[in-house]
Amino acid sequence: NTLRINHEFNINMLMTIAAVGAVLLGEYLESATVIFLFAIGEALEGYTADRARDSLRSLVALKPATATRIIGDQAQVVPVEHLAIGDHIRVLGGEKIPMDGEVLHGHSSVNQASITGESLPIAKSPSDTVYAGSINGEGVLDIRVTKRAQDNTLSRIIELVQKAQSVRAPSQRLIDSFAHVYTPAVAIIALLVAFVPPILFGQPFYDTATEHGWFYRALSMLVIACPCALVISTPVTVISAITSVARRGVLIKGGAHLEALGQVNAIAFDKTGTLTRGKPTVTQTHTDNCTEYAPCPECDDLIRLAASIEAQSTHPYAQAILSDVSTRSLGYTTAENVEILTGRGVRGLVNGKAVTIGSHRYFEDTFTHTQHLCDLAKQIESDGQTAVMLHDGDTVRGVIGIADTVRDESQSVVAELQKMGITSVMLTGDNHTVAHAIGAQVGVDTVYAELLPEDKVQTIKTLQTTYKKVAMIGDGINDTPALATAQVGIAMGGAGTAQAMETADIVLMADNLKQLPFSIRMARFARQLIKQNIVLSFGLKAVFLLLALTGNVSMLAAVFADVGMSLIVTLNGMRALKK
């Protein structure tokens, strides 16, 4: 039927011809054994491939079926599919969180390893985000639902992993294409082996008392040539590797991206939000009398006054100052008549006095200040930070250093990648001073600064002329053109960004660079396993084909060899699950 309907000469036809041929030769036991062992081989392949998908089943099992919805003073258990955005749900200690949401009341620690790969529980308090499938700790959390059941993070992860498992790797597509040509070619060669020696050279067609005839040898060749092991070797390995990294909070969207990641030898990092936290913080405060960032009275007064003015600003630097005041538990008076000085600073009245906060360049032109403060501001700027100065209505009180601080793991991750032979490049729209300061701190090999989005795309293309495979890692939204241009696009923070999951080939769910070296090692390991399986499959077949041609192997031995090799390559491919 396969040949008549699909016009396809496949593995099943090879086994059918071999079994029928054995019957014609009177080898009924061998014929039955061929079919039986072939069926066992097919079952083993299905079993091992199924085992490789167990990680996905464990993700599905994480999805809670019900939730406790709170309406007024009433608590009602409902299916998660009945919950709508804005509903109020309650999660007790030890329960799974059923929906993505925002904490309204309560404090607890939440184990979200299944979503982000983070090994330690994360403290949660009001306004924090929680994810469906994570496990609540000791406290009770009241949560406002922010996504429907089919749209929550866990559902998107499961959907993407399922899609990834169905996207074939290049090596798998090559093997499948090869098998379509190889299988009928083997059948033709077997036909020639069966008839050419007897017709042209007078060799025995059927078995004799001393040796196998050429018909039997041809049937043995058909069994040996069955490409079962070759065809199954790649998909099992790819599925195992993808599900293995998914356990660590890394989504790889298919075998093609897995193989490409294993070949990467240069990675371009976006700076803001990737190598850095993407959130400016106050790094130092200085006055004329106090030059250390410490809780001294003069520094406290300086940052308190700055907060009074910045409380009504939405600028990132204002948020950094307000966050610092909160961390240091300092109170402040909200300013009146606040005016934004576009591109220069902010000013307003605090207790009747005009207070101004602005850039060092603006203060150079506007307010007289001591050489000591001027030198401090210049030193802050030379370190790649932003210097902000404050005038209290009488004098310039001091200077505040603000910077987008480097992630704790950035330096170690870049160093680890370099040990793996991967060149690291940083791309940023920041000025050269800031860019090179951050680059030196992190340890990247090359820094490209003052880049517009189209400049980043061109830089990726330039890198591709030098390096075999280039990956780009960014936030998955404003870096989309560069992510699409690179051979591998990697997005940060997929757990909070639906766009990142859609635009990138790979998503680091935990917004953590630490999983990047592991993912690359896993991709390289998977490529090694695929190569090993291909060599093993071809090597064994080559040996047994020679034995079959010389009449030194039985059909039973050929079937055992084929089934055994299928099992070996599937088990070898599954090593990725244990790495």
Handedness of CA 49, 51, 52, 58 (dihedral sign): positive
Whole-angstrom distance, CA of residue 286 vs CA of residue 185: 80
30/113 Cα distance (integer angstroms) = 52
Residue 147: count other Cβ atoms within 10 Å of its Cβ.
Answer: 18
| C-beta separation of 251 from 230 below 8 A | no
Rounded CA separation 392/353 (Å): 7
Phi, psi of 475 (to 5 degrees): -85, -5
DSSP state, residue 467: S
Measured distance CA(579)–CA(567) in Å, rounded? 19
Residue 148 to residues 66, 84, 109, 344, 458, Cα–Cα distance (Å): 13, 6, 23, 44, 39
Count CB-CB contacts under 10 A for residue 196.
Answer: 13
Dihedral of alpha carbons 542, 548, 550, 553, sign: positive
Residue type (1 letter), 270: D
Whether 287 and 300 have beta carbons less than 8 Å apart is answered as no
> Which residue among the candidates 142, 151, 176, 270 is catalytic per the annotation?
270
Nearest to 153 by CA among 493, 504, 488, 577: 493
270 is catalytic: yes
**CA dihedral over 141, 146, 151, 157, signed as positive or negative:** negative
Residues annotated as part of the active site: 270
